[in-house]
Structure 1
Amino acid sequence: MKLLICIIGIGVLLGSVTDASLEDGNSMRFCGRTLINALILVCNMEETYVSAEVQPSEQYILKSTLNEKESSYKRIKSELRKRQKRDLVETCCYKPCKYEDLRMYCVHISNLNDSCLRCLCHVAGCDLAHGCSQGYCGPFYISRVYWVDAGKPTLPEDNPERKEAYEDCARDYYCSAKIVESYMARFGKDCNKDGVTNCYDYMMINHHGGGACTEPLHLTSLGQRRLQLYQECRL
C-alpha cells in the first residue's frame, strides 16, 4: 500500500516521467529538484529521514511540505556532494532509479558503518578472490536467498533479472556490502537484548538469518568460531 501511494504521489508531483512507473521491478530517472522531491516524498512515506547523511540542523528539511523546498533543495544538494553521495545522483539521474534505491537512502541503519562492514566481512572469510562455491559468493559469502531477501541489489546499470546479476554483485566488495546494508535495513534488530542494535547484532543476524537471531553463538562450533573472528576484528 505504501508503495502504491508513493507511486501515485510521485506521479502527481512530477507530472511527466519516463516510460516506466516507479513500481517494484521498474525504474525511472530523477534529476535536480525532482530527485530531491522524490527523495523527500519517499522518506516521508517510509516515516524515516536521511539522518545518516544530513546534519541534525538540516533534518527539518525532510519533514517539510513539498511547497517549502526552494532553499531545501540547495542545502540537500550540497550535503549530497559534501558527503560524496554521488551514487544516488548517478543512479537516479544518469541511470534508471528504483523505488528501493530511494527508500534505502532514507533508512539509517544504526551502527552499520564501514568498520562494522569490514568486521562482518572478516567473520565471513573476506576472501576478495573468492568467486562462488557451495552456493555462496564473494567476500561476504552471500547466498542467493540472502540476496533476494535484501531486495536484489546489483552493480550499476545491471538488471536483477539477468542470470548472473546476483553472482556479479556478490563477488564485488562494494556491491556485496550494499547487499548486507539492504539486508540489515530489513532484518536489523537487537538480537542479544542489550538495548542497542549494533555490529554484534548484525553478526548474529548473518549467522542465524533474518528470521530469528536471539540464540547465543557459543552453543555451536561454527558460532564459537565466528565469535572468535568477531572479537579479533573488534580489538
Structure 2
Amino acid sequence: MSKIIIGVILLAITIVIFAQIDNKCLQCICKTESGCRPLGCAWDVNSNSCGYYQLKNVYWIDCGKPGGSLAACSKDKACSEKCVRAYMQRYATKCTDGRKPTCQDYARVHNGGPSGCKKSATVGYWNKIAACYNSG
C-alpha cells in the first residue's frame, strides 16, 4: 500500500514539474497581452479580458480563483502569474497528448483554451509570442 502511495506522489510531482511554463515564455505572453501592464478589464470576444495576461473570467475560474476576484487578481502581477501557471498545469499536457509542452503549446493554450494548441486559429498568436521568445 505504501509503495502505491509513494508512486502516486512521485507521479504527481513529475506532472507538476513537467508542465511548468518557463519564465521567458510567461514574460513574452505578458508583453504580447498587455505590454506587461495591469490593464483594466475591457470587452474582447464575448467577455471581458483583464490585466497583465488579459485573463477572462472562465480562465480565472479554471486556474482556481486566486486573489479573491478576477479584477483584483488581474491587476496583481504575482497573482496573474500564479493563475497562468495553474491553468497551464491543468491543461497544457492534455493538449499535447502527454508530451512535454513547449512555449508554443503554452501560448496557444493561453490564447485558445484547453485545446488551443490544436486550433489553427491560435497559430497567429503563437507567431507573436515566438518573435519575442526567439529574440536574443
- Sort the TM-score into its range (normalised by shorter chain): 0.7 to 0.9
Q: CA deviation at 1:140?
A: 0.4
User: Share of identical aligned residues, percent?
Assistant: 26
Match of 1:152? Answer: 65
- TM-score w.r.t. the length of structure 2 is 0.74
Q: Distance in 1 between matches of 2:85 and 2:38?
A: 21
Aligned residues: 124
Give the whole-Å Cα distance in 2 for the aligned partners of 1:223 and 1:133: 23
Structure 1, gaps ≥5 residues long: 1-40, 52-105, 155-159
Question: Is the counterpart of residue 209 in structure 1 residue 113 in structure 2?
Answer: yes
Indicate conservation of the 8 Å contact 1:122/1:229, yes or no.
Answer: no
Question: Aligned letter for 1:187?
Answer: Y
In the other structure, the counterpart of 2:3 is none
Contact 2:104 2:130 in 1 (8 A): no
Tell me whether 1:132 sits opposite 2:132 in the alignment.
no
> Which stretch of structure 1 is more off in the superposition, 141-150 or 183-192?
183-192
Residue 181 of structure 1, CA deviation? 0.4
Match of 1:228 among 112, 127, 136: 127
1:169 is aligned to 73
In 2, the alpha carbon distance for the partners of 1:223 and 1:110 equals 21
- Note the aligned Cα RMSD (angstroms): 2.9
Greater Rg, structure 1 or structure 2? 1
Higher helix share: 2
| CA displacement 1:182-222 (0-9 Å, x = unmatched) | 101110127567x5411110011112101453123xxx4x7
Distance 1:111 1:211 in 2: 17
If asked which structure has higher relative contact order (CA below 8 Å, sep 6+), I would say 2
